[in-house]
Structures are given as C-alpha cells and as structure tokens.
Amino acid sequence: MYIADLHIHSRYSRATSKDCTPEHLDLWARRKGIHLVGSGDFTHPAWREELKEKLRQDENGLYVLKEEYRLHEDSVPDDRIPRFVITGEISSIYKQGGRVRKVHSLILLPDIQKAEIISRKLEEIGNIHSDGRPILGISCHDLLEIILELCPEAVYVPAHIWTPHFSMFGAFSGFDSVEECFGDLAGYVQAVETGLSSDPPMNWRVSALDRFQLISNSDAHSPAKLGREANLLDTELSYQGLKTAVETGAGLLGTIEFFPEEGKYHMDGHRKCGLCLSPKETEKYGGICPVCGRKITIGVSHRIEQMADRPEQYQRPGAKRFESLIPLPEIIGAALGHSSASKGVQREYQKLTARLGAEFEILRNIPVEEIRHVSGRLIAEGIKRLRAGKVTWSPGFDGEYGKVRIFDEEERNETDGQMDFFSMLGVKEEVGKQAKSEKTREKKEKASEAVTAKRKEPDEKQEEAIEVTGKRQAENAGKNPGRLNEKQQKAAHSPARRTAVIAGPGTGKTKTLIARLLYLVNDQKINPDRITAVTFTNQAAGEIRDRLQQAGEQGSSFAGLQTGTFHAICLRFLKERGVRVLLADETRCIRLAEEILARFGIDEEPKEFLEQAAKWKEMQILHPEEAGEKGEKEPDRTATYEAYGEEMAGRGLFSFEDLLLETVRMLKEHPEEKGWRKPFGHLLIDEFQDISPVQYELMKEWNRGGESLFVIGDPDQAIYGFRGSDARCFERLHREFPDLSMIRLEENYRSTPQILNSSLAVISENPGEERILHPNQKDVGPVRMLKTGGEMAEAIAVAKEIGRMAGGIGMLEAQRTSEEKERKIRSFHEIAVLYRTHRQGELLENCLRKEGIPYVVSGRESFLKDETVRRSAAFFRYLLDPEQTAAKEEGSLLFADGEGNPLGSLLFEETAQVWKKKIQEQSPAELLKEWIREMGMETNKAMEKLSRMAVCYETIEELLTMLELGVESDLKRCGEKQYTAEAVTLMTLHGSKGLEFPAVILYGAEQGKIPLENEYYETDFEEERRLLYVGMTRAKEELILTSAGEESPFLKSVSGDLLQRETAGRKKQQELWHQMSLFE
C-alpha cells in the first residue's frame, strides 16, 4: 500500500512558496510518509527544465530525485524515497451557454516528453510562461480533446469539483452536470477530485457521480502542505498502475481527507461580516448578506445541497474507504495552545517525526502509548481523539479556513493533560457549546432584523435614478426593442430630397440607418441596385448587410444593394470601368518620392513632399482654377508634383487617396454617364461628421440627379480633422442645400446616467448648442478614476481590474473580488481598453500576458510597415493576382539583396510555383506559420505579429484586403497564437468609434495624452475633447478611467458625484500580503 498526492504546485505558480522545488518536495514527502508526489505545473517551460535536470526516470516510468540534489536532515530518514509523476493543472476561462465558465483541470502524464508535446500545443492557444497553472481561453471539452489526441495515456481529472470560483460544479461559474461541461467527451472522464471542502459522503449524495472514482489531493502551494489530502493505493508503484487505479478503481483503496469543515468554502457566508450560514439560512435571507446587503458567497455544502438527489448520511454501496485527518502540527498546536506555525510547535513536530517516523504513520498507525512516551499525554490524547473523530469545528466559509477545536483552554492548563471529573463527563464542553450557540443565535437574530429593515428601507440612489429616467423607461416598457421611437421613425421615413440626422452616441444611429434602407426597399419598393450605403469601416458595412437580412421581410432581397467604405466603393467603381489598380503602400510611395526629389535635386523629407503632392492633386481636381494659379506662381514646385504623378501613373500605382480622386475626376469629366450614377440614386452615408473634402465632393457627384440623400452622424464625434474632416460638415450641407431636413435623435439607449452625464459634462465645454441626450438605462454607479504612481503601476492596475471584472482569474483574486462591492461578472469579450496611442498598448500587453488574460489588438499598427511584412504580403498578393506587377516587384526583394537582381526574380518565380497550391488549401494562420518557418523568419517580431493577425481572418484574400483597405477597427491581431472570441479588446480611441462595450477602461486619461501633446503638430483641443467624449460614450454599463500622472484637464468639468476618484493599489496590496501569509 502506498500514499499518493497528485495535485501540487511549483514555485512558478501564483502565491506559492519559493521552497516548491524538487528538493523540498522530496524532503517533505519523506517527512510526511508520501510515496508518490505529483510534479505539478508541467506546462511551465522553466519548471520542466528543472525537472529534467533534477529528476531521473525509474524502471516503472515514474521519476526519482537524483541523489546529488537530495536534502538530508536528522529528523527525516533517507530510506523512504518518494517517486514523482508528471502532473499539472490548467485553468480554463471561457463562455458557454451564455455564462462565463471557470474550471480547473488536473492532468497526469506518463513522462516529460509528453508534457513537452502538449505544452507546445497549449502555447499556441495562450500564455503558459507567466503562471505554473496557465489560464487558457479554451473549453474543458476542447482541452480534453487535445490531451486525448496528443497523449492517449494521459489521465484527465476535473479538479476540486465543488470550489465556488473555479470548478466543474462551482456555484459561481460551473456546470450542473459532467455532460454539460464535456459534451460528447463526458465518457472519457472517469475520476473527479473532491477538493478540500467536501468529503466522500457529501459526494455520495449526488447519484450522477456514482460512476466516477473519487480522488483527493492537497493542491499544495508549499511543501509543508503536502498530504492535506491524499490517496491510498494498493497497486504497482508505476504510471500504468496509477492510471488503472484512478480510472477504474482497481487498486484504489480510498482517500485521506481534510475534515471538510476545515475547507475554506465549506459553508455559506461573508468573511468580512463575520457571518457563517447554513444553506437553509442563506435561503432564508434570499442569498443576500443581512449585514452589508451584498450577495452571500455560496459554499460547497450549499452547492451539493442544490445538486443532491439523496439524503444526508447516505451510504453508497461499495464505496471506497476514507480517513479524515488533521495535520500533525495543528494537533500539537492545539495541545500547546500555540499556532501550528510557531517555533515551539515545529520543534515538537520534528522531535516526533525523528523518533517515531513519518507524519502519516504517527497520525494513523503508531500506538497512542508510544506517542505519549515521546510527547506527553495531551498530544497523545489529541491523536486519540482525532482517530475517534471526537473533534469540533468552526467551519470554514467565504475563503476562511475552518478552525479545529480538540481541547479547550482549561484542559490545556491542567498539568500533563489531566482532566477533571466534569471535563470527563463533558459538562464543560456542553456549557461552552451552549454559550457559543447562544451568541450565534443572537447574531443571526440581529442580522435577520437588519435584513428585514433593509428591505423596507428605500434606496435613495435608486429613487434618484428613477426620477431621472423613469418616465422614459415607462414609455418604452413592453415595447418591441426593434421598434423605432418617434424621431427615429421620422428620420427613417423622411420624404425630403435630402435628410441629415444628428445622432448622438447610443441614440440608435445604425438602427435608424437600417430602418431607412428597409423603408426604401420594402415600403417604397426601390430596386436595391439603386441604393448605396457608405460606412466608415468594412466591419460596419458587413454588419449592415447582416442586419438587413435579419430584419428584412420574408421573401425580400437586398441583392444589388451596394455597401462599403468610400475607398472600397471607389476601388470597385474603377475596376468596373476597366481601370487597372495597383495599390501602393506608404513605404513604396516614399521610395518613389525619394527618386523624384533626387532627380530634381530637392532636399526635403519624402513624407512632407507626399503630403504636398496629395494636396496639389486634390486642388487640380476639386479646384482647377486655384491649381492653375498656383502652377503659374510656383512652376518648379508643381513640376515635381506632376513628375511624381506621372511616375505613379506610368507604373499603374494608386495611393489610398488616389482611389477617391480618380473616381471624382472620372465622374466630373463624364457627366453624361448616367449609368455610372445609377447605384447612387438613393445615397446613405454613415459617420458623416468625419467626411473629408474629397469624400464630400464624391457624395455630390454620386448623388447628382439622384432621388434622395440621407446622411447621419454626430458633429461631437468628429475626430479625424488631421485627415481633413470638418465637424462643420452638417452646417456646410445646410448652406449648400437650404431644403435640407434636419432631425436630432436625443434618446440614449446605451449608457447609464452617470456615464452619459459625465460624457456630456466633458463635451459641453466645446462651442455649440446645448447637448441634449436623455438616458434610458438604469443607474449602476459612478464613473471611476483610478490614479496610480507610474506607467507600469497603471498597466498592472488595468490588468488587475480586468481580472476583477471577470470575477478573478485566480483563486485569490476570485476570493478578493467576492469581498468587494457586488459587481457584475463579465466575459472578457465584454471589456475594452481604449488608449490614445498604440505605444501605450505595448506595455499593457505585457501585463495582460503575465496575468494570463486573453486579448485582441485592433488597429493599424507600426509593424505593418516592416519591410519583411510588406514584401511577404506582396508575395501572396501576387499569387492571387499574377498581373500585379508592382506586387511581384516588391515581393521579389525578399529573395535578393538589391532591386533588379535577376537572381531575386528567379527565386521569386520558383517559390511562387510552390506556394500557389498552398494558398488555396490552407487557412491564413496555417499559411503564415509555414511561410515564417520555411523562410527562416522565426526571430522577426513583426512577422510573428502578422501571424497572430492571420488567425483573425478566414481567407488570405480577406487578410490582404484588410491590410490594403482596412481602417482601425477592421484590423485585428490576437494576443496569442490561436484566435479566441473570449478576449479583451485593446484599441485606440480613434479605432473605437462606432463600437460599444458593456465595460470600458479608458487607459491614460491624463495630461499629455488626452489632449495629446505632440512636437510634430499643434494640438486641436476641441478635437481632442471630442476624442475623449467618443471614448467615454463607448461604455454601456461600466466606465473606468486611469491616470499615471495628472488627470486630463478635460475631466475638471465632471462633478464629484459623477466621477469617483480612487488611488489604485494600496488597499489591494495590503489584502494580498495578508492572504499570502496563509502559504508562509
């Protein structure tokens, strides 16, 4: 017979002792009498290397500490050599069935080689470097499938299945059955781990667990905690013997258990309120703490009560035996009246183990009389009572371990443990119990009175919120959420030739736009091929197409209706007219500009030259008379612009802006081509406030002779002035077309009153009319401003805040979150972090990776300018369209040192032939992964980022199109090697326009960043204020702003009742220190 503790952690896991090393695990296993120990944390690369260095494999497939690393102590014999088995725990956080699921899984493997293989696969999914127990955005079903595919010999065990925060049946984020968790793979799960807060009899009450083997382990975070729970086995000491025992029960004699009352989640309650409750008492209070009014933390007993279909005291036929033990230091401490960690207790512990043997032998087998001879009558009596089950408990609850009581104070004070007559009769103990029971009853009676009074007491904040929004909520109550309000209806059904809709944030802009399209097609019977809807992003265009199909009447068709961005529609227009378009990226344009400047002997920055050349071309097309005058005044200068334009045209190259200008030119030169304007007979333009002068001219040309023009947007969200947009475009439209019908949408359906009113306080400092937006959501608390001591502290605070929003991503975080003010638990995909510049995001990414938080970065990042990235994209673009000579020219540079090298062209052609087939068969992610490996680009960070971008797209065509035409929110990069929908979104404030999220963290809301102070251009304070307004109004339910320095001056206009200012870190650090003392 041997004892096995299979679930432990290394020092690479969170909140673990630095002594969690192979040497100390071996030492403490010998001290305690454990024959087989789990290695723990097999996914962590550094820990695996340490295991390979310090362990050797024995003849039975298990591992032994090499002799040169063994620690020798007089109190620990060297003849009991423990074995190690490769194990690890993985934390899965994902969404299933509309809920966030957080489940831990214990995995046993036959050897380190299999651990390497599985770890490489898991590294493609998430970060396995920053925590020995990695957090992955993968379902338990998919994790089990990976394990079975890569290592059929592995053993998969759902860990501590009842723990409230992180387990299969956990009250906060678990499932109601094994089948719900694992689906069609449920049959491959054959054992479950009971956890510290439950014992076998509690699990016997759930008949659904009858087919599973019940195992118990310590989940130790320090070597001294080994064996708190363990397994008794009577089988060959080998991996195969262990696997058979765990999966079939053959050779599994039973388990050694914690008393479940000692577990820190045994009962319900609130630790901070000092309230421990039974399941029935929790139900009596409606699940609400009568002291603080927040939700009660549901314990294991309560959860088992919910799932049990058998009565208490049920005995399962044929069940394995179990023994309930208390760690020896706790018995010694109870006898001496000291903490189990005190020096006196540790000295006595070492004396006992040195003279009598291993701890388990002392607790289970050695005669009490022998123990008395070594340590006296009181310690011996304590062990005797333990074996007889004569101990009492204050049960654990809400993260606080239960407390054992073996002796009372008077018993300890009696010499050598002698007991008086009344103690032997149990009279004193009974009196003590009665006194304690009386105090508990009084406390609960007072709590009951408090909760009754609290329920009757009016909530002042709620009444205030009702006063603000109640009328509108009552008006909208019971209505179909798809219906339009009065002004939305007026806008959608406007009969005017030209209609402009001012739609503030959250007022249903897209909904109104969709309603307008439906009205035109379904009510006015307009042929869809005469309708064009212009959007700001490709993502928005796709959303419009999807929502039209969902909202359209049965049988209605929107085939032929044109949607897309200005650039996408112009590209389509030019190609349909037979124009060969080869897009040139910024780098290629700069290279061409350098050639022109050198030819004319001009010393000028290429970027500045390109800006001026673009303005010159725009002037030629939009204002030819002004261009003529400029040409006469500056002939030499204009000659360089013309030379650049001719060179571009000669090579068939178009810049991004050339798409628009060439379309305008063609329309102006061919006014007789009415067919060209047919798709624009009914023209709708979204995000009108960010229209540029060229786009404004396009609008007029497209809609010349058209039947209706419908524009919608918000001047207060105009944030692209640096690209030429003008927030006064609505005013310009009204001046040019006095018959314009103007409609304002004023009902905000997105944000809470505090978020909306805080945002309005910011934007109202800009010139203009009074901003009127009415909130229609309930109040859920103020906007928060977190102030930190520096940029690193700020990034860490944001990562920790995301963890708390998600309910805690580790045991300790989950526990602390449950102690804080009640808050809604969110999925990662419901959270967005917005910042002013991409540079800010880089530091934040590092912190999120360390915390194991999955994320997706949205936006056009600087790595896309890397020459290897550009040339690789050109190579694949050429494969899709061999007529793209510019792509071939760019891509061939990958294969030669210089341009014009014939060897480069030859290698390019040979490689292209090989990859033409692959590009049709593989996904973008697979394609890029193989490309990087074969081209030797593994060390190129930019290419690594491109590969993580590729996982976000279904086809290589889609990826390349987004690289060419995509704007901020169209471009996405996954933080890890595999895409997950359950990820936090990171993006710039500019990229967030048009989006919304339940929770938003506005990162870096400080002086110097908002407004951005930049040496290269003058700050436009009004636009910067609008940018902050856009960011704040992305939030639906929760908005947090952070600052590492002086907060943004734009926030000075927000009153204290709307914006709650806090200093991040201090309280949390104190709590963390206190909690970590449990593991010392």
Whether pLDDT at 1067 is above 50? no
**Domain containing 72: what range?**
2-258
Instruction: Give the pLDDT band of residue 61 (cuts 50, 70, 90).
Output: confident
Cβ-based burial of 56 (10 A; exposed 0-12, middle 13-18, buried ≥19): exposed
Q: Which of 510, 502, 531, 521 is nearest to 684 (CA)?
A: 531
Q: What is the pLDDT at residue 814? A: 54
Half-sphere exposure of 967 (CA within 13 A, CB side): 20
Q: Taking the CA atoms of the chain, what radius of gyration do you get in angstroms?
A: 35
Shared-domain flag, residues 874 and 836? no
Shared-domain flag, residues 923 and 954? yes
Is-contact 345 332, C-beta < 8 A?
A: yes
Residue 434 lies in a domain: no
Instruction: Give the pLDDT band of residue 437 (cuts 50, 70, 90).
Output: very low
What is the SS3 string spanning 918-971? HHHHCCHHHHHHHHHHHCCCCCCHHHHHHHHHHCCCCCHHHHHHHHHHCCHHHC
How do residues 497-517 score in pLDDT, each as one tens digit? 999 999 999 999 999 999 999
Shared-domain flag, residues 56 and 15? yes
Q: Which of 737, 739, 794, 749 is nearest to 774 (CA)?
A: 749
How do residues 580-593 score in pLDDT, each as one tens digit? 888 888 888 988 99
Residue 392 lies in a domain: no
Supply the mean pLDDT for the chain: 87
Half-sphere exposure of 27 (CA within 13 A, CB side): 17
Compute CA 355 distance to the chain's CA centroid, rounded to the nearest angstrom: 53
- For residue 1001, the SS3 value is strand
Shared-domain flag, residues 18 and 117? yes
Q: Which of 295, 290, 326, 306 is nearest to 398 (CA)?
A: 295
Q: Which two tokens stand for residue 726?
A: 């003008």
Q: What is the pLDDT at residue 810? A: 57
Q: What is the pLDDT at residue 1065? A: 60
Residue 958 lies in a domain: yes
Residue 328 lies in a domain: no
* CA dist 9 → 51, 813, 971 (Å): 13, 17, 39
pTM of the full structure: 0.73
Cα-based angle 582, 583, 586 (whole degrees, multiple of 5): 145
Task: Report the C-alpha gap between 360 and 378 in whole angstroms.
Answer: 19
Is-contact 620 573, C-beta < 8 A?
A: no
CB neighbourhood size of 208 (10 A): 14
Q: What is the pLDDT at residue 79? A: 78
Compute CA 35 distance to the chain's CA centroid, rounded to the nearest angstrom: 40
Instruction: Give the pLDDT band of residue 567 (cuts 50, 70, 90).
Output: very high
Average pLDDT on 284-292 reads 88
Please say which residue of 223, 258, 293 terminates a domain. 258
Whether pLDDT at 436 is above 70? no
Shared-domain flag, residues 937 and 1036? no
Q: Which of 659, 644, 695 is nearest to 535 (CA)?
A: 695
Residue 237 lies in a domain: yes
**Dihedral pair phi/psi, residue 405, rounded to 5°:** -130, 110
Whether pLDDT at 435 is above 60? no
Q: What is the pLDDT at residue 823? A: 66
What is the SS3 string spanning 766-817? CCCCCCCCEECCCCCCCEEEEECCCHHHHHHHHHHHHHHHCCCCCHHHHHHH
Q: What's the total number of domains in the chain?
A: 5
Q: Please state whether the peptide bond connecting residue 998 to the residue before it is cis, i.e. omega within 30 degrees of 0.
A: no
Instruction: Give the pLDDT band of residue 405 (cuts 50, 70, 90).
Output: confident
Which of 15-29, 649-663, 820-834 bottoms out in mean pLDDT, i.e. has the lowest?
820-834
Task: Report the C-alpha gap between 1023 and 1027 in whole angstroms.
Answer: 6
Phi-psi region of 838 (alpha: psi -120 to 50; beta: other; left: phi over 0): alpha
Residue 330 lies in a domain: no
Task: Report the C-alpha gap between 1024 and 766 in whole angstroms.
Answer: 10
Q: Which two tokens stand for residue 21?
A: 């090393």
Is-contact 517 533, C-beta < 8 A?
A: yes
Which of 88-97, 475-484, 634-643 bottoms out in mean pLDDT, i.e. has the lowest?
475-484
Task: Report the C-alpha gap between 1007 and 286 in whole angstroms.
Answer: 47
The percent of residues above 90 in pLDDT, for the chain, comes to 60
Phi-psi region of 275 (alpha: psi -120 to 50; beta: other; left: phi over 0): beta
Shared-domain flag, residues 813 and 943? no
Q: What is the pLDDT at residue 489? A: 96
CB neighbourhood size of 416 (10 A): 8
Which positions ≥6 away from 73 have C-beta within 8 Å? 27
Q: What is the pLDDT at residue 903? A: 61
Residue-wise DSSP of 239-275: HHHHHHHHHH-TTEEEEEEE-GGGSTTSBEEETTTTE
Average pLDDT on 714-738 reads 90
**Dihedral pair phi/psi, residue 713, rounded to 5°:** 175, -165
Residue 387 lies in a domain: no
Average pLDDT on 147-151 reads 95
Instruction: Give the pLDDT band of residue 1064 (cuts 50, 70, 90).
Output: confident
Residue 440 lies in a domain: no
Task: Report the C-alpha gap between 842 and 845 in whole angstroms.
Answer: 5
Shared-domain flag, residues 23 and 44? yes
Task: Report the C-alpha gap between 844 and 563 in whole angstroms.
Answer: 36
How do residues 201-256 score in pLDDT, each as one tens digit? 999 999 999 999 999 999 999 999 999 999 999 999 999 999 999 999 999 999 99
Task: Report the C-alpha gap between 883 and 878 in whole angstroms.
Answer: 7
How do residues 377-387 score in pLDDT, each as one tens digit? 999 999 999 99
Q: Which of 68-77, 720-729, 734-743 has the highest mean pLDDT?
A: 734-743
Residue that wins the pLDDT comparison between 430 and 1063? 1063
Shared-domain flag, residues 902 and 994? no
Residue that wins the pLDDT comparison between 969 and 981? 969
Which positions ≥6 away from 437 have C-beta within 8 Å? none
Classify strands 36-38 and 83-96 as parallel, antiparallel or unpaired.
parallel
Q: Which two tokens stand for residue 501?
A: 């809709």
Please say which residue of 622, 654, 686 terminates a domain. 654
Whether pLDDT at 119 is above 70? yes
Shared-domain flag, residues 953 and 897? yes
Average pLDDT on 530-536 reads 95
Shared-domain flag, residues 842 and 867? no
Shared-domain flag, residues 920 and 1063? no
Please say which residue of 232, 258, 284 terminates a domain. 258
Task: Report the C-alpha gap between 111 and 255 in whole angstroms.
Answer: 25
What is the SS3 string spanning 485-526? CHHHHHHHCCCCCEEEEEECCCCCHHHHHHHHHHHHHHHCCC
Is-contact 365 359, C-beta < 8 A?
A: no
Q: Which of 111-115, 872-876, 908-912, 945-949 has the highest mean pLDDT?
A: 111-115
Q: Which of 365, 358, 411 is nearest to 387 (CA)?
A: 365
Q: Which two tokens stand for residue 233?
A: 């086995």
Is-contact 1002 1032, C-beta < 8 A?
A: yes
Task: Report the C-alpha gap between 332 and 382 in whole angstroms.
Answer: 8
Q: What is the pLDDT at residue 822? A: 58
CATH number for the domain harbouring residue 52? 3.20.20.140
**Dihedral pair phi/psi, residue 650, rounded to 5°:** -65, -30
**Dihedral pair phi/psi, residue 528, rounded to 5°:** -55, -25
Which of 365-374, 434-443, 793-802, 821-830 bottoms out in mean pLDDT, i.e. has the lowest?
434-443
Residue the block writes with tokens 């109004």 = 1033
Which of 266-270, 907-911, 1007-1011 bottoms out in mean pLDDT, i.e. has the lowest?
907-911
What is the SS3 string spanning 381-419? HHHHHHHHCCCEEECCECCECCEEECCCHHHHHCHHHCC
Residue the block writes with tokens 């406007």 = 494
Q: What is the pLDDT at residue 902? A: 58
Half-sphere exposure of 230 (CA within 13 A, CB side): 24
Shared-domain flag, residues 143 and 58? yes
CATH number for the domain harbouring residue 733? 3.40.50.300
Whether pLDDT at 135 is above 60? yes
Whether pLDDT at 50 is above 90? yes
How do residues 340-361 score in pLDDT, each as one tens digit? 889 999 999 999 999 999 999 9
Task: Report the C-alpha gap between 532 and 1073 in whole angstroms.
Answer: 61
